[in-house]
Structure 1
């Protein structure tokens, strides 16, 4: 065989490349026309507009509308309802009829090799979702629109309610900065992934009336949100808590009804009102349902088909409250729509399904926006993350969201998520896809997300990079190698993508997390080592003298903020935060971006100490004031041995993974992600009084500084028992028990053992951290003991931070 010379070789390669289609498994729609025989504008809604605009944004191609079906062989995208199917060629009808049947909101997407795409829907919404499927799967580049010939499918949503709450109020981390156009685009984006509902908020909530970010008064923006939902053919819900001081006095009731009349008259479309049972607006059920009947009359005056839904959401529930609540729920009120299962609902949804009539629907209200102190916290989250990223950071949790959804979805009719802004953007799209089809693999949703919102050249790389951010939160941060790997993925993308992608807010939200996570891990490693060096120096105080040891320990600890590491990562985070504020109003700091405390302002936490230096420095300053060397040395020894239980004793910190094995488990996280039947990790100090910090603050502590370990504990919700088991005890010994009770809740707790012994009766926690009790020798006579904490009725949960079992 003759060998080709180099010039001839490259010529042959060029000929092969020009003769072979760039996308051999795709149809080329770059020159397609759109054919749509539908005459009824109510059926079309904005589907044609969405198709043309979204394609044009990405390709600069304006797909023209054809008055009649183009001849065979010419590229076409055809849209029709099943009732208009006869306008298509017989062969196309046959191919479409061969696909599985569709039901309400369903669609069929048929891709044929002659560059023809046919979308047939059951109804107007189905058309929009069919267009969304095309856009999600299409490869759109400047001057080019292609679609895989394997994209053919027929699809019907599993659940009839699929949506997200978009509250225009200051408490959100971005929505209050949105313009009307931004809400329009965001609602459109959600609809492309199958959302059929939005939930808006009234102008008055448990929040400030306005913020510096708002482009319109709340009452006007609420009307615009409703109009947008109406134009896309979506359902519009409203979350409307009871904030009045009195719902029984006639004058108060009149004021409340007048307010609702103004709000309900303002919105052009309203399909349902969701009234939470509490948080805020706690009312006794008899009072609440009497009031709701009055509210329903005003609601249906302007929106005759609208219903009122209610949640059994109450911070301090009692059995009497629930009995009265479900009595009303099952009373067949004509205005009643259904029950909502959301945050701070004590009763598991499986039990609620049994308590209400089969005809009454249950809607999920999942909290997809918060990381802890929430309905579905990140399981066993590292304390460093809770201190820095906080409760409401950018938080893609794709695999967690699917697991949470699929654990509980069968007990409801779908969901409208609880969201406080753009931080949970990825989670929204995952949740909508799961409500459409719970069998959808997470990676498929992420690929669609990346392809449509970032670009087809980054489908796989961005999808995997988003997963990497979730992996950063798995396990112990000190040893988590995923953090470095995640940063490398995002940095490589950062080097490769064009400026348009670098300025894309959805890309930037992932990028800032990658840098922030890596910076936090580096600081944790650095500051952990500095603390150990300081402790080592203090341990030598008997040799070096207490005052030099104390001084050197302070110098060592101060290096964390005087000799900062990796300043470039820190600078990158602030630059990205500024860019996100300019583009989507993301408020990642309080002072510069106008965030509310604890509402997405995680950049404010970027320098918070990650070791015990605040507590140690406070202790060292106190010890320095002592005049006696022996006393100083004794105090240093006590500081260094604070957790020492003595010979034959036990010490455990129940925020630490190494002690969690002692916590008696309930159901697995996969079955009980909301911890209604299982223990969970909690965060917070929760001590009151002049001497003790009330809560963890982003910029430090107030009052007396506490040990870092008090910020994390084991806890259960409501009156669910918290059980902690010890074995390998000395059966002949007696033990003294020291307990640290800290945490977000200030509950009344009782402690008993598995043999029925009472360690202590109900005591009020939150007033002091440390308690000591004798353990009855009979309780540990077999070398084992299980401690059991319970709360009184109406309490929010039991919490245990540290235990010392000291052998007497």
Structure 2
């Protein structure tokens, strides 16, 4: 017989099991809300700043004060911070000894649940700061609560010795020039918490204005403060110092340059390294450059005796002779030399630089993590709509790409200091710092830490995945990207449940504005693509409607894009968030309202740039309207409608179209060449009529005409790398003409071959967009042909936007060509 108490027993067992399970689940987080901090007395002075960082950052997020304790408590939760110089009880020190050894910048952390202690051990003040930073990143801090993961037991040392970011105080940046001393202090502290050990500053004179309307201090005063802040946190100070003088030989010119450097070097209390680019800006011939570097070293060491000079083989139009002289000087390894820097517009791949340098000369990377257009590491196959709207310096979280870029080349260098122009690349900085510390770190772990520590611990996972989604938004063709609207829904859901404090957080605002912006641009792309197709269909009825009526209908349809705009709520939200970002972090997302420098971070100014071919179509229709006869109008309309038609048996490719990229020949693994020094890349900019430097993709074109959209993007091979494009299925019995559009910002001198046979000799591009040439019959005798374009020495690269292969055997084609 079953006892009456048995059901009760089952219930008790069930409840015990339930609560035991959930208690175990919760046990991973230990409550340290009532914690204190113990630091051995003889180490407290040296660790004073590290202690302050811990106390201040915990209080900001939880409202709780972590008081210093004079002794270890046996029954109370405590944080223990030590440099290992004092004796700790065996129950605290023994677990540390089970962990692997650390270097001078490393740390060990053990969490002891029974003892209610978290012990952080390092060898140096710098290592202690990184240990505290790791703890802060893993804590869950909220009002009145400090939770620490029980599983946080590790020893960690940085893989690379150089880990930092450039924070230039100059007008060209999209936010830094608006910062106060306190904002720089906080940002430098934030970077250090994620493992940075270096900050690169700039002198007052660069390729920029001396001041802006945003600056709170003269530049010479602010760099003094930046250096002082770095000294406080024991971070290395680097200075990027381009050669902006006109003459480095004449005594009068040299005297002026020397006086300037004395003023700058004597101003900053700490300066460990000076980085002088070989060019961009400041191109100087190598012999003159190295004489000048030696003179600078003497001045530098008067004020900073241990400082070294680093130099980059960075020059816009390099020659073999330039590089030969450069490496000959570097390999003499003068006493003042710190090493060589690999950065944007360095023609030689980093592995080849490593081979050309003596083994004892280090390399530092200078990765461009800030730009999307005209960049060292472009977004692969970026959609033209993004280039037109997001522009060169948008808010650009690229966690997966940045890890890939870092790990493709990290083995050749001693670390990196990123090239940054403001807060737009904020998230990328923390990805790079984590990768320089440990390249095996998963980017999602950094994202979770970033979200937990900087924004909201309770929504760390949602935020981390939302930042990943922003990167997915800009992959592949925008028109068919199904992620964009889902990404907006994710961010809106987070926004709705976030606190007022989170909504004022600039890092949250940066992700949110991109989600709204991306969704708005996609809705416009869909609509304007449909309007263009509809307008062209209406124009195609000119024989039935008459040319004037067809033109009128077509223009009216295209005009609906601005007369009946879509999704204005999304646009207004972007404008509101732009204002909020200006208030929260000095982000300058428009020229007029926020004082941005044009063509930089002002992507909100581009929010309504046309996304279809309306500018070109309108310009063609204007020509038709001014024609004298119906026949002339009809001819212009026909040419407009058939601009891309190669005729029967022909081929047409537009290298903004993913299908056309299937013809591009890749002879090297792109995953090993993220900077495209050995592989083709996508580029943007029309480049006609002396528009060599294109920060913004515009409709400006040739001889007053608007440019077709197709001229705004190109397939590009940098420097003297051959650009190869392959065609098959040509008719060996036919003859062909190739028509090619040469556009792009480089305006290069190029020659073209077909299967090695000459098609044309060197042509200086930029003076006209379209060229036509007969194809050598020998090149297509097997039906296949590989076209190749190369630049002359010191050229910046071959660029092609469109190709027509026209079959001459067709009578209609011949008539059209005539």
- Shorter-chain TM band: over 0.9
Instruction: Assess, with a 3 A threshold, how the Cα gap between structure 1 residues 640 and 696 changes in structure 2: closer, same or farther.
Output: farther
* SS of equivalent residue, structure 1 residue 118: strand
Question: 2:223 matched to 1:225?
Answer: no
How far did residue 371 of structure 1 move? 0.9
Question: 2:762 matched to 1:762?
Answer: yes
Instruction: Mark the runs of 5 or more structure 2 residues left unpaired by the alignment.
Output: 809-818
> Is contact 1:45-1:231 (8 Å) kept?
no
Q: Pairwise mapping of residues 287-306 of structure 1 onto structure 2 (< 5 A)?
A: 287-306=288-307
- In structure 1, how many angstroms separate the alpha carbons of the residues matched to 2:136 and 2:695? 45
1:607 alignment counterpart: 608
* SS of equivalent residue, structure 2 residue 214: coil
> Is contact 2:371-2:393 (8 Å) kept?
yes
> Is contact 1:685-1:696 (8 Å) kept?
no
Deviations 1:441-483 (A, max 9, x none): 0000000000000111011000000000000011110000110
- In structure 2, how many angstroms separate the alpha carbons of the residues matched to 1:38 and 1:389? 54
- In structure 2, how many angstroms separate the alpha carbons of the residues matched to 1:126 and 1:613? 58
* SS of equivalent residue, structure 1 residue 479: coil
> Is contact 2:242-2:281 (8 Å) kept?
yes
Question: 2:100 matched to 1:100?
Answer: yes
> Is contact 2:600-2:695 (8 Å) kept?
no
Question: 2:77 matched to 1:75?
Answer: yes
2:40 alignment counterpart: 37
- In structure 1, how many angstroms separate the alpha carbons of the residues matched to 2:304 and 2:171? 28
- In structure 1, how many angstroms separate the alpha carbons of the residues matched to 2:606 and 2:697? 5
How far did residue 45 of structure 1 move? 5.3
Instruction: Assess, with a 3 A threshold, how the Cα gap between structure 1 residues 769 and 107 changes in structure 2: closer, same or farther.
Output: same
Q: TM-score, normalised by structure 2?
A: 0.95
Instruction: Assess, with a 3 A threshold, how the Cα gap between structure 1 residues 38 and 540 changes in structure 2: closer, same or farther.
Output: farther
Question: 2:544 matched to 1:543?
Answer: yes
Q: Pairwise mapping of residues 695-734 of structure 1 onto structure 2 (< 5 A)?
A: 695=694, 697=696, 701=700, 703-734=704-735
Instruction: Mark the runs of 5 or more structure 1 residues left unpaired by the alignment.
Output: none
Instruction: Assess, with a 3 A threshold, how the Cα gap between structure 1 residues 42 and 368 changes in structure 2: closer, same or farther.
Output: farther
Deviations 1:481-533 (A, max 9, x none): 11011101001001111111111110000000000000000000000000011
> Is contact 1:687-1:694 (8 Å) kept?
no
- In structure 2, how many angstroms separate the alpha carbons of the residues matched to 1:358 and 1:146? 47
> Is contact 2:698-2:712 (8 Å) kept?
no
> Is contact 1:168-1:176 (8 Å) kept?
yes
- In structure 2, how many angstroms separate the alpha carbons of the residues matched to 1:345 and 1:2? 82
How far did residue 39 of structure 1 move? 3.1
> Is contact 2:692-2:747 (8 Å) kept?
no
Instruction: Assess, with a 3 A threshold, how the Cα gap between structure 1 residues 239 and 695 changes in structure 2: closer, same or farther.
Output: closer
Q: Pairwise mapping of residues 317-466 of structure 1 onto structure 2 (< 5 A)?
A: 317-466=318-467
- In structure 2, how many angstroms separate the alpha carbons of the residues matched to 1:373 and 1:477? 20
The number of aligned residues is: 797
1:134 alignment counterpart: 135
> Is contact 1:205-1:241 (8 Å) kept?
yes
- In structure 2, how many angstroms separate the alpha carbons of the residues matched to 1:422 and 1:695? 22
* SS of equivalent residue, structure 1 residue 261: helix
Instruction: Assess, with a 3 A threshold, how the Cα gap between structure 1 residues 265 and 533 changes in structure 2: closer, same or farther.
Output: same
- In structure 1, how many angstroms separate the alpha carbons of the residues matched to 2:202 and 2:345? 19
How far did residue 249 of structure 1 move? 0.6
How far did residue 753 of structure 1 move? 1.9
- In structure 2, how many angstroms separate the alpha carbons of the residues matched to 1:141 and 1:169? 36
1:481 alignment counterpart: 482
1:112 alignment counterpart: 112
Give 2:69's match in structure 1, choosing from 39, 61, 66.
66
How far did residue 154 of structure 1 move? 0.5
> Is contact 1:515-1:572 (8 Å) kept?
yes
1:674 alignment counterpart: 675
> Is contact 1:38-1:80 (8 Å) kept?
no
Instruction: Assess, with a 3 A threshold, how the Cα gap between structure 1 residues 440 and 552 changes in structure 2: closer, same or farther.
Output: same
Q: Pairwise mapping of residues 503-518 of structure 1 onto structure 2 (< 5 A)?
A: 503-518=504-519
Q: Pairwise mapping of residues 48-63 of structure 1 onto structure 2 (< 5 A)?
A: 48-63=51-66
How far did residue 288 of structure 1 move? 0.4
> Is contact 1:527-1:611 (8 Å) kept?
yes
Question: 2:30 matched to 1:24?
Answer: no
Deviations 1:7-27 (A, max 9, x none): x99xx99x979x969942222
How far did residue 338 of structure 1 move? 0.1
1:528 alignment counterpart: 529
How far did residue 695 of structure 1 move? 4.7
- In structure 2, how many angstroms separate the alpha carbons of the residues matched to 1:39 and 1:567? 63
> Is contact 2:684-2:697 (8 Å) kept?
no
* SS of equivalent residue, structure 1 residue 670: helix
Instruction: Assess, with a 3 A threshold, how the Cα gap between structure 1 residues 191 and 528 changes in structure 2: closer, same or farther.
Output: same
Question: 2:251 matched to 1:255?
Answer: no
- In structure 2, how many angstroms separate the alpha carbons of the residues matched to 1:487 and 1:654? 29
- In structure 1, how many angstroms separate the alpha carbons of the residues matched to 2:456 and 2:759? 62
How far did residue 757 of structure 1 move? 1.4
* SS of equivalent residue, structure 1 residue 716: strand
Q: Pairwise mapping of residues 745-784 of structure 1 onto structure 2 (< 5 A)?
A: 745-754=746-755, 756-784=756-784
How far did residue 666 of structure 1 move? 2.8
- In structure 2, how many angstroms separate the alpha carbons of the residues matched to 1:283 and 1:39? 52
Deviations 1:528-547 (A, max 9, x none): 00001100101111111111
Instruction: Assess, with a 3 A threshold, how the Cα gap between structure 1 residues 41 and 235 changes in structure 2: closer, same or farther.
Output: farther
- In structure 2, how many angstroms separate the alpha carbons of the residues matched to 1:697 and 1:428? 24
* SS of equivalent residue, structure 1 residue 415: strand
Deviations 1:522-576 (A, max 9, x none): 0000000000110010111111111111001010000000100000000000000
> Is contact 1:45-1:232 (8 Å) kept?
no
How far did residue 66 of structure 1 move? 1.0
Deviations 1:749-786 (A, max 9, x none): 011122x3111000100010001111111111111111
> Is contact 1:312-1:340 (8 Å) kept?
yes
Q: Pairwise mapping of residues 583-598 of structure 1 onto structure 2 (< 5 A)?
A: 583-598=584-599
Q: TM-score, normalised by structure 1?
A: 0.96
Deviations 1:38-60 (A, max 9, x none): 53567425110000000000111
Deviations 1:123-181 (A, max 9, x none): 11110000001100001011110101001111000000000000000000000001000
How far did residue 707 of structure 1 move? 0.3
* SS of equivalent residue, structure 1 residue 623: helix
> Is contact 1:487-1:518 (8 Å) kept?
yes
